[in-house]
Structure 1
Amino acid sequence: MASLHKSASKLNATNKRKSGDDMEEDDELPVVSVKTVKRRKDKVLLLSSRGVTMRMRHLMADLEALLPHVKKDAKLDSKHSLHLLNELADLHSCNNTLYFEARRHEDLYLWASKSPNGPSVKMHVQNVHTMDELKMTGNCLKGSRGIVSFDGGWDQKPEWALLKELLTHMFSVPKTSRRTKPFIDHILTFSILDNKVWFRNYQIIEKDPLVPAGPPQTSLVEIGPRFVMTPIRIFEGSFSGATVFENAEFVTPAALRATTKREAGAKYRDRKMAEKGQDSRREERRLEEPELAVGKVFA
């Protein structure tokens, strides 16, 4: 009996020693850290100021249809209290803001901002053409995610790189958006030409391959809308703050119209001065005629 008890105690001690060695070996194993991918939850607040025209409203409607992560709000009454836009974005749980500001019922400016801390950019929008106006054959699924494409000129200067990051957050639809369809069938392109940003929207069309078991034929068809943006100034904060970049070549549309009117007025004044000079020379020739001139003898 004693021998059985002694053998059992030895077996228990051996098992404990093995379990302790196993625990030590487990402690010496390397710790593998699991990296969690942070999901992007970008939401964009889209609104305008008072005084927008019909074409500006249609452009906003087209952008709302293209971007399913956009939340639209009513028009902002004041054009001077832009800090209220950060509060509106917070109320709608949005971290991006696209604000269309209309001036004199003909000039359109676009504010793009990362609310509430910035940065933000102010751009002048020109050559606006909406989907209904273009009447193109292209079409895409409403709510589908689009590929945001930039050309090679965006990485040449730091201000363009910053603007590229802003536009990526504005127009790139996240996967977690509730109204997003699980399809990618169009491309949003941003190109730089003459220090301006050109926006185009193309549909991706795939046709059956010519060769059996070959790749499908892919082509692009423009859908719309299309417009051109001229960066004016980039601010450090959201709708305020220090100026990071300022476009020295930008001339306001009001100044261009004033210059055009001034040139037209100068042409009018020159023409009137020429007419007065002709009248004065005609009067001088009439006074210099002799007494026996044909006009006086046979008058």
Structure 2
Amino acid sequence: MTKRKLQKETNPKQNIKRLKATKKLQSESKITSPSSDKWTNKERVLVFASRGVSYRDRHLMQDIRNLMPHSKPDCKMSKGQGLFSINEICEMKNCSKCVYFEARKKKDLYMWVSNVPHGPSAKFLVQNVHTMLELKLTGNCLKSSRPILSFDSVFDKTPHNRLLKELFIQTFGTPHRHPKSQPFIDHVFNFSIADNRVWFRNYQVVEEDGALVEIGPRFVLNPIKIFAGSFSGQVLYENAAYKSPNLLRREVRLAKGSKYEERVLAKIAKDAKEPGPLYAEDVTDDVFTTIRPEDAKGIEKSTFYRKR
């Protein structure tokens, strides 16, 4: 009996059938499960800042990290290091994209979005920053879920806006089947252009009919320059309408100074409008003016004698 069992178990025909069945199942699984189910897009984004950022800018950076499961953090970079050294940091972190927040004078915040190491890269001035904790909106989404990227139709009209659109897609879009991402799509990143600026909003998809509720954060990107390389290279686009924050503060100070000048000129004009003497004064009229002894001062006191 034992020999028959061994013969049955070690029957080569059954083994061949099993191999054929497994191959058939594998082929069917390959047909049913497309190649897109694998994690092929291995984009990683390095999100960090320079030293000297304010608390609001730091919270904005943390919000962006929470919204991007494919992001990687790093310690703050000192201002003594050049921007070109960021390429080496991204190479050590195995990142192909970078979002770098550069703070200046503890007032102004600049954001670099770069494709490391060959470029292109774009530099923006960040304005009107409102973080999630600051807004306290009713919207909410699952952490590490994949977003839908929504772009304004203006992005397709000019070449530099098309370049920014592609840069935003590759940077803010979460790769499919990323290990840290959730298999859900419940929020939308909206990029719109108004007043030559890029406005960012984050909305929650509440229902299937497309109802949206804002989550946050909010910020506005004022484009400055687009470079051919990563943090350097030939200038592909320069915003002619851009004004630096130092220039805007100088204009405000000059406007305040002009108010003082206007006040002085108005006083001079008022004095010029006042009527002068109606008749010519005689020089000898002062001969008969006398000073009371009580009002005498200095040498004038010696010319008066009070009667007792």
Q: TM-score, normalised by structure 1?
A: 0.78
- What CA distance in whole angstroms lies between the structure 2 residues aligned with 1:229 and 1:125? 5
Asked if residue 255 in structure 1 is aligned to residue 256 in structure 2, the reply is no
Alpha-carbon distance in 2 for matches of 1:47, 1:288: 80
Q: Secondary structure of the equivalent of 1:163?
A: helix
Supply the distance in 1 between the matched residues of 2:80 and 2:204 (Cα, whole angstroms).
Answer: 36
Return the alpha-carbon distance in structure 2 between the equivalents of residues 287 and 235 of structure 1: 74
SS in 2 for 1:234: strand
Deviation at 1:285, TM superposition (A): 4.2
Q: What residue is the counterpart of 2:193 in the other structure?
A: 192
Report the equivalent of 1:27.
none
Partner of 1:49: 50
Q: 2:266 aligns with which of 274, 287, 298?
A: 274
Which one of the candidate residues 218, 231, 234 is aligned to 2:223?
Answer: 231
Q: CA, structure 1 residues 126+288, in 2 after alignment: closer, same or farther (shift >3 Å)?
A: farther
Which aligned pairs between 1:127-206 and structure 2 lie closer than 5 A?
Answer: 127-206=128-207
Q: 1: distance between equivalents of 2:35 and 2:147?
A: 25
- TM-superposed CA distance for 1:64, in Å, is 0.8
Deviations 1:26-61 (A, max 9, x none): xxxxxxxxx976921110001111111111011111
1:178 is displaced (CA, Å) by 2.1
1:82 corresponds to: 83
How far has the Cα of 1:281 moved from its partner? 7.5
1:202-244 CA distance string (max 9 Å, x none): 00112xxxxxxxxx54411000001111111000000000001
Q: Distance in 2 between matches of 1:140 and 1:204?
A: 8
The C-alpha deviation readout for 1:160-201, integer Å capped at 9, x for no partner, is: 010101111110001242211111110001011121111000
Counterpart-to-counterpart distance in 1, 2:197 and 2:80: 25
Partner Cα separation in structure 2 for residue 193 and residue 273 of structure 1:
40
Does the Cα contact within 8 Å between 1:236 and 1:244 map onto a contact in 2?
Answer: yes
Q: What is the alpha-carbon root mean square deviation over aligned residues?
A: 2.8
Correspondence 1:14-53 to 2 at 5 A:
39-53=40-54
- Contact 1:41/1:176 (8 A) holds in 2: no
The Cα of 1:257 is off from its aligned counterpart by 0.8
* Structure 2 unmatched runs, 5+: 1-33, 292-308
Tell me how far 1:274 sits from its aligned partner.
3.4
CA distance in 1, matches of 2:279, 2:84: 75
Paired residues of 2:177 and 2:183 also in contact (CA < 8 A): no
* Post-superposition offset of 1:104: 1.5
Query: 1:220/1:193 Cα in 2 relative to 1: closer, same or farther (>3 Å)?
Result: same
State which drifts further: 216-225 or 52-61.
216-225
Following superposition, the deviation at residue 139 of structure 1 comes to 0.3
- Tell me, what secondary structure is at the counterpart of 2:189? strand
Asked whether the equivalents of residues 44 and 71 of structure 1 are also in contact (C-alpha less than 8 Å), the reply is: yes
Give structure 1 stretches of 5+ with no counterpart. Answer: 1-34, 207-215
CA deviation digits over 1:94-117, x for unaligned, max 9? 000000111111111100000011
Q: Distance in 1 between matches of 2:231 and 2:270?
A: 58
* Alpha-carbon distance in 2 for matches of 1:110, 1:277: 50
Secondary structure of the residue aligned to 1:237 is coil
Secondary structure of the corresponding residue to residue 108 of structure 1: strand
User: d(CA) in 1 for partners of 2:191 and 2:74?
Assistant: 26
- Tell me the SS of whatever aligns to 2:40: coil
Contact 1:49 1:79 survives alignment (8 Å): no
Kindly tell me: are residues 147 and 288 of structure 1, through their superposed partners in 2, closer, same or farther at Cα, counting changes over 3 Å? farther
- In the alignment of these two chains, the number of paired residues is 253
Q: Distance in 1 between matches of 2:149 and 2:210?
A: 17
Q: Which stretches of structure 1, 4 residues or more, deviate above 3 A after TM superposition?
A: 35-38, 273-282, 284-293
- Residue aligning to 1:20: none
Q: Does 1:264 align with 2:290?
A: no
CA separation of 1:53/1:289 partners in 2, compared to 1, >3 Å: closer, same or farther?
farther
Report the Cα offset of residue 290 of structure 1: 3.7
The change in CA–CA distance for 1:203 and 1:36 in structure 2 (over 3 A counts) is closer
Q: Give the SS at the match of 1:98.
A: strand
- State the distance in 2 between where 1:69 and 1:271 align: 59
